[in-house]
Amino acid sequence: MLNKQGIDTITYCGERFDGDGDHVPVFDAADVDRWFNGPWDTGRVFDRWDPDDPCWAELNLAIVAAMDDRVQPGDVVGLTMGRCQETIVNSFPGLLALEVGVGYEGVLEPTHHAYESSTWRHYVYGTRRWDGRNFDTVIPNAFDPADYSLGDDRGYLLFLGRHTPRKGTEVIRELAKTHRVVTAGQDGPVDGCDYFGVVVADEKRELLAHATAVLAPTLYVEPFGGVAVEAMMSGIPAITTDFGAFTETVLPEFRSNTLAEFHHAIDGAPARRGAELREQTAARFGLEPVGDR
């Protein structure tokens, strides 16, 4: 998106980078094997948030060394992992630092921030006891409509995500007593549901395209909750809890505070499924509108 806006970028990345613009590999498969005791598996949950962990400490040093040869006055340093990348900010005090896609609590004090939602911006301000910061902003996550497609309704509800209590698996379990529920993601399965494991690419596209609705009964304050947008990009209502970023992304009639409201939302889902919902979602969260922001 940045390159399409006419902004030159250099991405410091791994060997499998597939984006636009210049890129500089700063780690390889051998580094990954050393950091994570073997090849990275998409079924694993990333939980390494200590800045002193070798996966961050070594990576940051490699990035700083590569940047030393390339930075120019006036460049902007874009960070994606907050305090885990503080070494990079401290190494280039003369450059403006911007944290992009902020959906975490470990933000840095001296940087500018682009939060994933207004909800999360205010959550961080509240927990930090900050006053407002005029140079911060909110830019939602972007999705490519080409990655999603419309399909027929095959009568199942879909849960995509980590199978943990905080993601609302108890609600999923209750709904599965009266509806067919399909789940996919890390740490499954859930009792009473059909489990597809971790899905990506075409397999995820197909599961989304043929669901009646996607369930996202998350119990914590979601910074964004991308699965809801993925659902609506597929023309499928997302049925969620009524707090967190869902209040900014999901239609009011599909946000629930009780199990009875979840059942009511499920009953109304088939009537809102289709191309109109997909088009409305693409107009808000597609690559071009988000790129403009």
Structure-token pair, residue 102 = 């902020």
Predicted confidence band of residue 40 (pLDDT cuts 50, 70, 90):
confident
175 in a domain, yes or no? yes
The answer to whether the peptide bond before residue 39 is cis (omega within 30 degrees of 0) is: no
What is the predicted pLDDT for the residue at 253?
97
Rounded CA separation 50/31 (Å): 17
Residue 235's domain spans which residues? 145-283
One domain, residues 14 and 105:
yes
For residue 162, what pLDDT is reported?
93
Shared domain for 177 and 224, answered yes or no, is: yes
Looking at the fold, whether 81 and 184 belong to one and the same domain comes out as no
- Give the per-residue pLDDT at 187: 86
Q: Are 85 and 56 in contact (CB under 8 A)?
A: yes
37 and 152 co-located in one domain: no
Residue 42 lies in a domain: yes
Amino acid, single-letter form, for residue 233: M
8/132 same-domain check: yes
Label residue 39 by pLDDT band (50, 70, 90).
Answer: confident
Q: For residue range 133-164, what is the model confidence (pLDDT) as tens digits?
A: 999 999 999 999 999 999 999 999 999 999 99
- 167 pLDDT exceeds 80? yes
Output the domain CATH number for residue 211.
Answer: 3.40.50.2000
Tell which of 138, 167, 193 closes a domain: 138
Residue 192: pLDDT over 90: yes
User: Is 181 part of any domain?
Assistant: yes
Q: 138, 167, 201: which is the final residue of a domain?
A: 138
pLDDT band for position 244 (cuts 50, 70, 90): very high
Q: Calculate the average pLDDT of the chain.
A: 95
Q: Strand locations in the chain, DSSP E?
A: 10-13, 22-25, 76-79, 96-102, 112-115, 137-138, 157-160, 181-184, 194-195, 213-216, 238-241, 255-256
The answer on 180 and 129 residing in a single domain is: no
pLDDT at 43 over 80: no
Q: Is the pLDDT of residue 23 over 90?
A: yes
The count of structural domains within the chain is: 2
**Local confidence band at 41 (pLDDT 50, 70, 90 cut-offs):** confident
- Shared domain check, 121 and 89: yes
SS3 124: helix
Last residue of one domain, picked from the residues 105, 138, 171: 138
| Confidence class for position 280, pLDDT limits 50, 70, 90 | very high
Q: How does 145-162 read in b/e, with b if 16+ C-beta sit within 10 Å?
A: beebebbebeebbbbbbe
